[in-house]
Amino acid sequence: MERFAIISDIHGNLTALNAVLKDIEEKHISKIICLGDIAGKGPRSAEAIDIIKERCAVVVKGNWDYFLTHVTDSETIWWHRRQIGAEREAYLKQLPEYYEISLSGYLLRLCHASPNDIFYRVHLTTSNEKRIKLFEETPTLPCLSDIVGYGDIHGAYIDNIGDKVLFNVGSVGNPLDFNVASYAIVEGNIEADWLPNRDKSAYGITICRVPYDVELEIKIAEEMNMPELIDYSNELRTAIYRGRK
């Protein structure tokens, strides 16, 4: 039985990232997979990218990793881009869009929003008809997955559509379900290559919540004169998305 941690949506919130990494270390888990949106929104994107690059075995691309590496007229995006610099931007640009492994004989796919489209967004309340798209085949492996884990929506859950399991790891740096950082731990028999007809065995998926110093993070963003500070502070404190009234 092996274990690994899955983190996502750090968004430059280093205070939350450090708290989550400490919790993972205390659980003696060494393998970490990141599902993207490392940077942007929060003040310390450069440091977050450096740590993720160093600590994570696999990193997939999020929609913000795309925004931060493409032309935009948003002043806010440019502020975050200036923090990152050209070398880290090149790193974000080359990230893959999904990762697939065999978990206890089941095909597990991990992605930011969906395996073939980083902008395809589904929530727990989205219809099964739309959510089932997340199980579709990929160019590298033309098989439907059994289990899919994703990020993007900043709200953790574990659900099933028939015998297919869908889970969201939530967000480290910008949780929008409640204002405590979240990540997931997966355990089972892990093989790098997935093969059909392999014996199935037990596996587990756990959502972990880690409190961190929200006010310290806001103070740092304030000291750095980060744009959209009020929206950021409100989101960290209330876990209510700025676009939602």
Cβ neighbours of 76 (radius 10 Å): 14
Sheet holding 204-210: strands in order across? Answer: 58-59, 32-34, 2-7, 181-188, 204-210
Q: How far apart are CA 10 and CA 85, in angstroms?
A: 18
Nearer to Mn ion, 27 or 70 (CB): 70
How far apart are CB 192 and Mn ion at their closest, in Å? 27
Q: Identify which of residues 38 and 185 has a Cβ nearer to Mn ion in the complex.
A: 38
To Mn ion, the closest distance from the beta carbon of 174 in angstroms equals 7
The tokens 């929060």 sit on which residue? 42
Size of the site for Mn ion (CB under 5 A): 2
Binding range to Mn ion, per CB under 5 A, among 18-26, 33-41, 45-53, 209-217: 33-41
Confirm if 222 and 241 have CB atoms less than 8 A apart.
Answer: no
- In the complex, the smallest distance separating the C-beta of residue 3 from Mn ion, rounded to whole angstroms, is 25
Write down the least CB distance from residue 10 to Mn ion, Å: 9
Q: Which of 23, 37, 146, 235 binds Mn ion (CB under 5 A)?
A: 37
Residue of 5, 6, 7, 9 interacting with Mn ion (CB under 5 A): 9
Dist. CA 6–CA 102, nearest whole Å: 15
Burial category of 211 from C-beta neighbours within 10 Å (exposed 0-12, middle 13-18, buried 19 and up): exposed
> Under the criterion CB under 5 A, does residue 146 sit at the interface with Mn ion?
no
Distance separating alpha carbons of residues 169 and 13, to the nearest angstrom: 16
Nearer to Mn ion, 9 or 23 (CB): 9
Distance in Å, CB of 210 to Mn ion, minimum: 17
Q: Please give the residue ranges that form the binding site for Mn ion (CB under 5 A).
A: 9, 37
